[in-house]
Copies of this chain bind each other. A is one copy, B any other.
Amino acid sequence: MRAPAHRQVDSVFGALADPTRRRLVETLARGGTVTASGLAEQLPITRQAVSKHLSALRGADLVTSTRVGRETHYVLRPQPLDEAAQWIQMVGAEWDDRLGALRRSVEGRGTASR
- Identical chains bound together, number: 2
Interface size on A, residues (CB 8 A): 35
A10 sits at the interface (CB 8 A): yes
The reply to whether A29 and B94 contact each other, CB–CB distance below 8 Å, is yes
Kindly specify which of A14-22, A46-54, A66-74 makes contact with the partner chain: A14-22
Contact partners of A98 in chain B: CB under 8 A: 29-31
Interface residues in A76-94 (C-beta closer than 8 Å to B): 76-79, 81-82, 84-85, 87-89, 91-92, 94
Q: Shortest Cβ distance from A40 into chain B, in angstroms?
A: 20
Residues of B within 8 A of A101 (CB): 31
State which of B29, B88, B95 has its C-beta within 8 Å of the C-beta of A91: B29
